[in-house]
Structures are given as C-alpha cells and as structure tokens.
Amino acid sequence: MTFTVQPALAEVREAADPVHAEDRPGAPWWRSAVIYQIYPRSWADSNGDGIGDLPGITARLSYLRDLGVDAVWLSPFYPSPQADAGYDVADYRDVDPLFGSLADADVLLRRAHELGIKVVVDLVPNHSSDEHAWFQAALAAGPGSPERARYIFRDGTGPHGELPPNNWNSVFGGRAWTRVTEADGSAGQWYLHLFDTKQPDFDWQHPEVRAEFESVLRFWLDRGVDGFRVDVAHGLIKQPGLPDWHDRTTMLGAHVEHDHSEHRPEPTHATPYWDQDGVHEVYRAWRTVLDSYGAPDRILCAEAWVEPQERAVRYVRSDEMHQAFNFDFLGTPWRAEALTDTIARSLRSSDSVGAPTTWVLSNHDVVRHATRLGMPSTESRPRGIGAGDAQPDRELGLRRARAATALMLALPGSAYLYQGEELGLPESTDMPDEFRQDPTFRRTGGAEIGRDGCRVPMPWVKGAPSLGFGPGPLAWLPQPEVYGAYAVDQQVGVPGSTLELYRSLLAVRHAHALGTGSLSLVEGLGEDVVALSNDGAGRDRVLVVTNLGKSVVELPEGAEVVVASSPLEAGAVPTDTTVWARW
C-alpha cells in the first residue's frame, strides 16, 4: 500500500526499536569517514602513456577536496608485472615506474594532507607476484628448502606427482595449483595460487611472512599513510591438511550472492581457504603496530567476503581491524524490504562488536551500480556484462543509483565511493574482447567476462583526446562513446547533475553529522519504501525516504526537504528516488 494523501505527522512513527545509537562525541575520524577509491591506472594520466599515475592523482586532488570526501584509498601502485592490474606485488616497498616513484608517493601524501584528505593504501598479503624476490628464491632453492616454506609448495599426487595436491580451483578459473620445473629441468612440485598462476599464496603460518608484513606496514606508516585496505583479508590461513573442497571457487562473492528471501548457503568458513579462525591473530598483531603510531588513528579495512554477518564482524572486533566492507549491502536487490533488512541487520551486527558499518555500492571488482541497478533483475549480482549479454536500461540504472547512493550516504558509519560513480558513470558493457585484460576472462575461456568494464579510464573533459584522462589520445581501455556526456566538465556547477548531487549529499551529511547519528526505522509511509530517521543531539532530525514502489509517496506534513536524488512531483517522492528532509 502506498499513501496518496499526505500522512499526518502523528500517523508516521518510529518503530519500537531504534536500530542504532548515536556515536560517542569526538569519535575517531574513520567511524564516519567517506573514502573515495582511486584506481590509479584509470584516474588521471600525467604523461600520456595511457595509464594513470601518481603525479596525475596529485594534480587532481583538489577535485576531491571540492567533492567533500575525507580520505582516498589507492589500489596498488607497487612494482608489479601487472598480471592482475597490480594485485600481484613484486616489491611491497616501492612504486612501479608505470605509476611514478617513491618521491611521487611522498608528494601525493603531502599534498593530500595539505588539503585535509587522508590516504589509505592497498596491502596485498595473501599472495605476492611470482616475480617477487622470495618466490624467485623459492624456485631456485628447490623442494624442502627454507625459501619454499614461505609459500605453499607441495608434492603432486598420482604415480609421478603429475596430479595437483588437491582439487582446489582458482577464483579466476582453472586450477589453483601450478607445477614448477625444478632447476635440473625435471617436473617438480606444485604451488598454490588462489588467484592467477602469477600470484603464489604465502604460507601465513611462517613467522618470516608475518614479520615481513609487519615491517611493510611500518614502512608505509613511517611515510605517513593513514591506513591500509587489506586485500582478501579472509584468505590468509588455509585449513591444515588442505582438504579437498566440494564446491567451485568463485570470485569471492559466492557466499554473499544468495536470494535474500530464500535459503542461506553454507557459511564462508566451511570453505577450507576462506575465513579460517587463524586470520584473526594476524590482524590483532597488526592492530598493535598501528596503535603504536598514536593519534589520529591509522586504520585497517578488511576486504573480506564473509557470510554470515556474525562472522564478518569478527574482523572488526576492538583489537582487530577498524573497518570491513559491508558487501551484503552491495549485493542487496532493489527491494525496500530487503534493503531495510540489510541496513538494520548490518548496524546491529557491527554494533555487537562496537564497530561502525562500512557501506559500499561499487568498486573495481563489481559491475558499477549505475548499471547493476538498471538490469532487468537485481536479484543476483551480474559478474561482468559483455556485448552478448542482456544490456542495462541506462536511465533507470542511473536514477536508482542516485537514489541508492543518497540512501547509503544518509546512514551512520563509514562509506566508500568508487571513482566515477560521482559522475553516474555506467559500466562499459560492450567492450570488444580483444581489449580485455582481467585474468578471469582468459582463465575461464571467456565464460566470465571479468571486471574490465568498471575499470575504464575516467572522463574529465568532453571532446578532449582520451576525454581528458591524459594529455594525449591513449587510454589503456577504450572509453565508451557515451562517457563524454558524463565528463566532469559537463557536470561541474550544473544543477541536478550527478556530480552536484554527490557534492550536496556529502556537504549535508557532514553538516548534519549523519555519519555519527542514531538510526531508527520509520513506519507509516507505505510498504515499498525504505524510511529511516537519522538523529543526533543538538541538531535537526533527518528523515530519509527511498521510494521503490510504483506510486509517489507523500512526506509527512512539516517535513522540509534538504536533498532529493531526483526532482519531487508536487512535493511527493517519485519512484526510485531518495529524499532527506528535516522533520
């Protein structure tokens, strides 16, 4: 039922249970921070080689100050053969010449801090590149050597060791084991790689691996970084004995990609290489290192695709990480009841350990939400979209994406934005296959399209070569024709543009301290509506209404609209629209 007459204030009430209490006064920055993810190779190219770089980022940091974010997270820029776009690290203490130098990193840090923007870097502890000095040493040293013990080498099975040690598959497709050729030319041992062949997994039971990463943390903390986003945080520890696993290995998200109304799959930790209890001792040790740097806090944010939420929040217990991405929210279908349920459950689970919830709708691994929400169904998350697949309704997707973001940014906790979403950028869904670089595409023989579609270089200036991404025409992935219309220069200062909407949302969120507010569910506005109140001591209460139904929703009398994701219709909230109102 949807109201068509304006409900009297008395008819609109808050549900008996407030969902979440206001944060303590003076809460540390990360509990409510909005953090913008930069994918360095695709943000801004300073030298025209078609690949974004650190000087390019530094030159455009004022754009982010104007947007109003608190921090940036940079995906990896370390020396790397780029087999997985830099998530295959060959040296954890340097910058790849492709992206610049350590001196460029220092300049970036300094400039960001001058502008009041904190900098979080990406740490990839589950695996290194096969070109890392330790792995090269392990290959050279041979079976049984101390060098091999830092990775997961095993003898093969079968009469001649010609079969892999167990049946695990790689997240990117194909088996998770590769057999090496020993120094004498004979077929040798196998090593484990949950991802690409060029990403051997470390053995995190080895004390040298632990000591090395604590030293890497210090290296970057000493240079002034404000924190780390921790890649595949749920994968470091493998079940002893490496038992076979009956299920396929998926792009991390298998366990959060269920139908929200129906069965719950096995918990993630049933898989012998995900969410094993031993990971937590690693993060407790890291927390001690970070805490030793004092105030303001330096942070750890877990990329942990873990179900159920009761297990996921273990990563953010008070002596472990500060944040963990809430991928459950990202995977929730576009239905009011499902969204309300995810929001309430997320806040309650993170509250159970005293942590903030960390909301996210898009990143470099998933289909952009402006496209995802325009697909014929939002019940399950697409894993890449190619020219041969059903195509999104771009207008619908953008309208919903704006509503979804406005909902997200009204919620207490921290939130991550992915570069380009502030432009309403759609996924590239018809990229010719010859451009694809994601190892998933190759390793699955094209069965999985992969993640290139969300990694296309940013459009800054319509009509300029490479849309202003670099000084020349080169861009490492082709930019779709339509991207020109989304370029920054087309949106700055244009009322109603997605960029201006994001700026307003961030400004109001900040001014009203929504990130530290309390949250309660509001009833009486209809069934297809997410209705919440975000409140805090000494300021106006903010009513948040997202209409997912077919008819318009009237706001309670007296409610004064502050921001709307799409224009209102005679004061009422139209379909696929979020409003924030003082009430």
Binding site for ligand GLC (CB under 6 A): 84, 87, 124, 195, 231-232, 252, 303, 364-365
Minimum gap (Å) between residue 202 Cβ and ligand GLC: 12
User: What is the CA angle 322-256-340, rounded to 5?
Assistant: 80
Figure out which of the listed residues 30, 34, 45, 546 binds Ca ion, where binding follows CB under 5 A: 45
CA distance 147 to 180: 15
Minimum gap (Å) between residue 89 Cβ and ligand GLC: 9
Q: From the list ligand GLC, Ca ion, none, pick the one residue 49 interacts with, judged by a Cβ distance below 5 to 8 Å according to partner type.
A: Ca ion
SS (H, E, C) 447-516: CCCCCHHHCCCCCCCCCCHHHHCCCCCCCCCCCCCCHHHHCHHHHCCCCCCHHHHHHHHHHHHHHCCHHH
Q: From the list ligand GLC, Ca ion, none, pick the one residue 328 interacts with, judged by a Cβ distance below 5 to 8 Å according to partner type.
A: none
Helix pair 102-114, 207-223: axis angle to 10 deg: 50
Q: From the list ligand GLC, Ca ion, none, pick the one residue 53 interacts with, judged by a Cβ distance below 5 to 8 Å according to partner type.
A: Ca ion
* 378 and 393 Cβ atoms separated by less than 8 Å: no
| C-alpha distances in Å from residue 485, one per residue of 301, 399, 431, 481 | 34, 16, 18, 9
Token digits of residue 29: 């920055």
β-pairing, 529-535 vs 542-547, is antiparallel
Minimum gap (Å) between residue 56 Cβ and Ca ion: 6
Q: From the list ligand GLC, Ca ion, none, pick the one residue 528 interacts with, judged by a Cβ distance below 5 to 8 Å according to partner type.
A: none
State yes or no: residue 49 binds Ca ion (CB under 5 A): yes
| C-alpha distances in Å from residue 111, one per residue of 65, 102, 105, 218 | 11, 14, 10, 21
Between 99 and 583, whose beta carbon lies closer to ligand GLC? 99
DSSP annotation of 82 reads -
Minimum gap (Å) between residue 140 Cβ and Ca ion: 34
Q: Which residue has the tokens 């030319």?
A: 185
Piece of 52-60, 205-213, 274-282, 480-488 that binds Ca ion (CB under 5 A) = 52-60
Size of the site for Ca ion (CB under 5 A): 5
State yes or no: residue 54 binds Ca ion (CB under 5 A): no
Minimum gap (Å) between residue 453 Cβ and ligand GLC: 13
* 233 and 122 Cβ atoms separated by less than 8 Å: no
Q: Is 178 helix (H, G, I), strand (E, B) or coil?
A: strand
Minimum gap (Å) between residue 401 Cβ and ligand GLC: 21
Q: From the list Ca ion, ligand GLC, none, pick the one residue 368 interacts with, judged by a Cβ distance below 5 to 8 Å according to partner type.
A: none
Minimum gap (Å) between residue 116 Cβ and ligand GLC: 27
Q: From the list Ca ion, ligand GLC, none, pick the one residue 47 interacts with, judged by a Cβ distance below 5 to 8 Å according to partner type.
A: Ca ion
State yes or no: residue 292 binds Ca ion (CB under 5 A): no
Q: From the list ligand GLC, Ca ion, none, pick the one residue 51 interacts with, judged by a Cβ distance below 5 to 8 Å according to partner type.
A: Ca ion
Q: From the list ligand GLC, Ca ion, none, pick the one residue 232 interacts with, judged by a Cβ distance below 5 to 8 Å according to partner type.
A: ligand GLC
State yes or no: residue 365 binds Ca ion (CB under 5 A): no
CA distance 475 to 51: 6
Minimum gap (Å) between residue 370 Cβ and ligand GLC: 20
Minimum gap (Å) between residue 327 Cβ and ligand GLC: 11
Judging by beta carbons within 10 Å of its beta carbon (0-12, 13-18, 19+), is residue 199 exposed, middle or buried? buried
Between 53 and 303, whose beta carbon lies closer to ligand GLC? 303
Q: From the list Ca ion, ligand GLC, none, pick the one residue 195 interacts with, judged by a Cβ distance below 5 to 8 Å according to partner type.
A: ligand GLC
Q: Which amino acid is at 87?
A: Y
* 338 and 329 Cβ atoms separated by less than 8 Å: no
Q: From the list ligand GLC, Ca ion, none, pick the one residue 45 interacts with, judged by a Cβ distance below 5 to 8 Å according to partner type.
A: Ca ion
Figure out which of the listed residues 35, 44, 51, 254 binds Ca ion, where binding follows CB under 5 A: 51
Minimum gap (Å) between residue 79 Cβ and Ca ion: 15
Figure out which of the listed residues 32, 39, 44, 53 binds Ca ion, where binding follows CB under 5 A: 53
Minimum gap (Å) between residue 470 Cβ and Ca ion: 7
Q: From the list Ca ion, ligand GLC, none, pick the one residue 275 interacts with, judged by a Cβ distance below 5 to 8 Å according to partner type.
A: none
Backbone angles phi, psi at 564, to 5 degrees: -140, 140
Which among 328, 143, 121 has a CA at the least distance from the CA of 230? 121
Figure out which of the listed residues 4, 47, 181, 352 binds Ca ion, where binding follows CB under 5 A: 47
State yes or no: residue 124 binds Ca ion (CB under 5 A): no
* 18 and 9 Cβ atoms separated by less than 8 Å: no
CA distance 341 to 575: 20
Token digits of residue 501: 């909407």
Between 429 and 440, whose beta carbon lies closer to ligand GLC? 440
Q: Which residues bind Ca ion (CB under 5 A)?
A: 45, 47, 49, 51, 53
